[in-house]
Amino acid sequence: MKTLTEKIEEKVKQAFEAAGYDPGLGHVSVSNRPDLCEFQCNGAMAGAKKYHKAPFLIADAVAEKLAGDPAFAKAESVKPGFLNLTLSPAFLAQELNEMAGDEKFGYRGEDKPRRVVVDYGGANAAKPLHVGHLRSAVIGESIKRIEKYAGNEVTGDVHLGDWGLQMGLIIEQLRDLKPDLPYFDPEHTGPYPDEPPFSISELEKIYPAASARAKKDAAFAARAHEATLKLQSGDPACTAIWHHIMNVSRKDLKKNYDSLNVHFELWKGESDVQPIIPGMVKDLQDRGIAHVSEGAVVVDVAQDSDKIEIPPCLIQKSDGAALYATSDLATILDREEKLRPDRYIYVADKRQALHFTQVFRTARKAGFVKPETELLYVGFGTMNGKDGKPFKTRDGGVMRLENLVADITDAVRQKMAGSDDLPEDEMEATARKVGLAALKYGDLSNQASKDYVFDPERFSSFEGNTGPYILYTIVRINSILKRYRSEGGTLEKDERRIGAPGSEVEKDLDLCLSRFPEVMETARQELAPHRICQFMYETADAFSKFYTHVKILTEPDEARKKSYLSLLTLVRDLLTVCTDLLGIEVPERM
Q: Which stretch binds ligand ARG (CB under 6 A): 117-125, 175-183, 301-309, 570-578?
A: 117-125
> Is position 473 an interface residue for ligand ARG (rule: CB under 6 A)?
no
Name which of 129, 368, 366 is nearest 260 in CA terms: 129
DSSP letters, 370-426, are -TT-EEEEEEE--EE-TTSSBP--TTSSPPBHHHHHHHHHHHHHHHHTTSS---HHH
Q: Which is nearer to ligand ARG, 65 or 135 (CB)?
A: 135
DSSP letters, 136-177, are HHHHHHHHHHHHHHTT-EEEEE--BB-SSHHHHHHHHHHHHH
> Is position 587 an interface residue for ligand ARG (rule: CB under 6 A)?
no
CB 195 to ligand ARG: min, Å? 28
> Is position 122 an interface residue for ligand ARG (rule: CB under 6 A)?
yes
> Is position 268 an interface residue for ligand ARG (rule: CB under 6 A)?
no
Sequence-distant (≥ 6) Cβ neighbours of residue 69 within 8 angstroms: 11, 75
Strands ordered across the beta sheet of 153-157:
153-157, 115-119, 343-349, 374-380
> Is position 506 an interface residue for ligand ARG (rule: CB under 6 A)?
no
CB 403 to ligand ARG: min, Å? 19
Task: Select the residue interacting with ligand ARG from 38, 95, 119, 443 (CB under 6 A).
Answer: 119
Strands ordered across the beta sheet of 39-41:
28-30, 39-41, 82-87, 72-78
CB 496 to ligand ARG: min, Å? 45
> Is position 250 an interface residue for ligand ARG (rule: CB under 6 A)?
no
Q: Which stretch binds ligand ARG (CB under 6 A): 31-39, 116-124, 137-145, 220-228?
A: 116-124
> Is position 84 an interface residue for ligand ARG (rule: CB under 6 A)?
no
CB 462 to ligand ARG: min, Å? 34
Q: Which is nearer to ligand ARG, 253 or 571 (CB)?
A: 253
- Residues 132/120, Cβ–Cβ less than 8 Å: no
Sign (positive/negative) of CA torsion 427, 432, 437, 439? positive
Q: How many residues interact with ligand ARG (rule CB under 6 A)? A: 8
Q: Compute φ and ψ for 292, nearest 5 degrees.
A: -85, 130
Q: Which stretch binds ligand ARG (CB under 6 A): 12-20, 119-127, 237-245, 409-417?
A: 119-127
The number of CA neighbours under 13 Å toward the Cβ of 509 is 30
327 to 366: interface string for ligand ARG, x by CB under 6 A = -x-----------------x-x------------------
> Is position 124 an interface residue for ligand ARG (rule: CB under 6 A)?
yes
CB 362 to ligand ARG: min, Å? 13
Q: Which is nearer to ligand ARG, 119 or 252 (CB)?
A: 119
Kindly provide the b/e burial profile for residues 174-206, where b requires at least 16 CB atoms within 10 angstroms of the residue's own CB. bbeeeeebebbeeeeeeebeeebbbeeeebbeb
Q: Which is nearer to ligand ARG, 119 or 506 (CB)?
A: 119
**Window 157 to 186, contacts with ligand ARG (CB under 6 A):** 159, 161
Q: Tell me how far apart the terminal alpha carbons of the chain are, to the nearest angstrom.
A: 36
Q: Which positions lie near ligand ARG, rule CB under 6 A? A: 119, 122, 124, 159, 161, 328, 346, 348
